[in-house]
């Protein structure tokens, strides 16, 4: 494994038990909001979540795709910051692939429910709190930019 | 108590046991980072923290004061989002007033250590996760804007 893969593997280990992260987005006025999101999958440098396509965050992400997902477990002093580029999309095969009993509670009509969207966060940087050193330490960092994400994903984006 | 005070009182009750929030800031390129911050005080619509004045977040806040502080307790399904306007300042009387044993571990030279700064977040909106309804609910909302914060606090701001 290269350094990037090692960093990603360490990130996955740290957030696996926490599961729910707080996704922070900015609206047009720069006002930042966060809300809990259950992580469905972490793979290939991305985090995957389900969302409702009429949720305000879908519009916020369309206008500004830069987000943060923080994972906190205060009892065990685990704190992780994930910076990334978010997009929302509708990909029925992928929705079925990630479907779980938990998702079913949210969307009782099942994976075919047209309100369901996928929210992916392509990780550009991740850091964790080093308790002994009392500082954040890098887990990984990439050079992805918002414009590259747009070019790569336009065809599947939600309208 | 008016609605705003009630919302603030409820917020304080919710975050009191969690203590450590994740502060999200944006850098000049809009890249969002978060890091754990121990809440020293919540009063008069503001959250107070200690920081080191040479920390990168001080510069990020100087350029863009809009931040989010999220408080998570996944085990008890408590998730709170606090949106606000941050500023950093050096106010020795206030530093001594908020000083604790925990702060002493961070800054062993004590409250006179010139590296210490206060970081306050004037809350503009706060929401919490309603587990039963599966949605965020408002706790409070104000009309404070970044320009008002600047006008009110310029005299004590860090250089």
CB contact under 8 A, B34 and A64: no
Q: Quick one: which of A122, A102, A34 has its CA closest to B25? A: A34
CB contact under 8 A, B34 and A74: no
Q: Which residues contact B82 (CB under 8 A, 6 or more apart)?
A: B11, B15, B21, B47, B68, B69, B70, B71, B121, B123, B125, B126
User: Is residue A114 pLDDT above 50, yes or no?
Assistant: yes
Instruction: Quote the mean pLDDT of chain A.
Output: 91
Residue B2, min C-alpha distance to chain A (Å): 24
CA distance B60 to B28: 7
User: Is residue B29 pLDDT above 70, yes or no?
Assistant: yes
DSSP A119: E
Contact B32, A66 (CB under 8 A): yes
CA dihedral B81, B68, A57, A4 (to 10 degrees): -110
| A53-85 residue pLDDT tens | 999 999 999 999 999 999 999 888 999 999 999
CB contact under 8 A, B106 and A134: yes
3-state DSSP assignment of residue B75: helix
DSSP A18-76: T-EEEEEEE-TT--EEEEEEE--EEETTEEEEEEETTSHHHHHHHH--EEEEEEEEGGG
| Number of Cβ within a 10 Å radius of residue A73 | 18
For residues B124 and B151, which has the higher predicted lDDT (pLDDT)? Answer: B124
User: Is residue B156 pLDDT above 90, yes or no?
Assistant: no
Region label for A44, one of left (φ > 0), alpha (ψ between -120 and 50) or beta (otherwise): left
Residue A79, min C-alpha distance to chain B (Å): 7
CB contact under 8 A, B31 and A124: yes
Give me A4's structure tokens. 């990037």
List chain B residues with CB under 8 Å of A134: 106
CA distance B52 to B76: 32
Give me B131's structure tokens. 């587990």
Give me B2's structure tokens. 């008016």
CA distance A124 to A8: 11
| B64-118 residue pLDDT tens | 999 999 999 988 899 999 999 999 999 999 999 999 998 998 899 999 999 999 9
Average pLDDT estimate for A100-105: 90
CB contact under 8 A, B73 and A68: no
Across the strands, what pairs with A128? A80, A137
CB contact under 8 A, B35 and A67: no
Residue B79, min C-alpha distance to chain A (Å): 7
Question: B157 falls in which pLDDT band (50, 70, 90)?
Answer: low
CA B8 → CA A38, A145, B14, B73, B140, distances in Å?
27, 38, 10, 19, 7
Residue A84, min C-alpha distance to chain B (Å): 8
pLDDT value, residue A75: 86
Q: Which residue has the tokens 């009309």?
A: B143
Residue B68 touches chain A, beta carbons under 8 Å: yes
Alpha helices (runs of H) in chain B, residue ranges in sequence order: 3-16, 56-63, 92-98, 101-106, 146-153
User: Is residue A156 pLDDT above 90, yes or no?
Assistant: no
A144 phi and psi, to 5 degrees? -60, 140
User: Is residue B146 pLDDT above 80, yes or no?
Assistant: no
List chain A residues with CB under 8 Å of B20: 72, 74, 79
Instruction: Quote the mean pLDDT of chain B.
Output: 91
* pTM, full prediction: 0.92
| A80-99 residue pLDDT tens | 999 999 999 999 999 999 99
pLDDT value, residue A150: 59
Average pLDDT estimate for A127-145: 90
- Please state, for a pLDDT cut of 90, what percent of chain B lies above it: 79
Alpha helices (runs of H) in A39-91, residue ranges in sequence order: 56-63
CB contact under 8 A, A70 and B70: yes
- Please state, for a pLDDT cut of 90, what percent of chain A lies above it: 79
User: Is residue A12 pLDDT above 70, yes or no?
Assistant: yes
pLDDT value, residue B158: 67
Among all residues of chain A, which has the CA nearest to that of B20? Answer: A74
Give me A136's structure tokens. 């954040």
Specify the range with the lowest mean pLDDT, choosing from A83-87, A146-150, B75-79, B135-139: A146-150
Average pLDDT estimate for B10-24: 95
Residue A32, min C-alpha distance to chain B (Å): 6
CA distance B80 to B69: 8
pLDDT value, residue B75: 86
B147 phi and psi, to 5 degrees? -70, -35
pLDDT value, residue A97: 97
For residues B156 and B123, which has the higher predicted lDDT (pLDDT)? Answer: B123
């Amino acid at each position: 494994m290269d350094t990037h893969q090692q960093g990603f593997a360490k990130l996955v280990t740290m957030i696996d038990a926490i599961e729910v992260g707080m996704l922070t987005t900015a609206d047009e006025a720069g006002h930042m909001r966060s809300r809990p999101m259950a992580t469905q999958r972490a793979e290939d440098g991305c985090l995957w979540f389900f969302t409702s396509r009429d949720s305000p965050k879908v519009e916020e992400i369309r206008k500004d795709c830069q987000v943060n997902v923080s994972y906190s477990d205060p009892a065990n002093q685990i704190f992780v910051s994930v910076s990334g580029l978010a997009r929302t999309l509708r990909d029925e095969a992928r929705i079925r692939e990630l479907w779980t009993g938990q998702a079913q509670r949210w969307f009782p009509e099942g994976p075919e429910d047209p309100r369901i969207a996928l929210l992916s966060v392509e990780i550009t940087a991740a850091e964790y709190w080093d308790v002994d050193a009392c500082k954040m330490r890098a887990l990984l960092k990439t050079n992805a930019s918002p414009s590259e994400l747009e070019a790569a994903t336009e065809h599947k984006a939600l309208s």
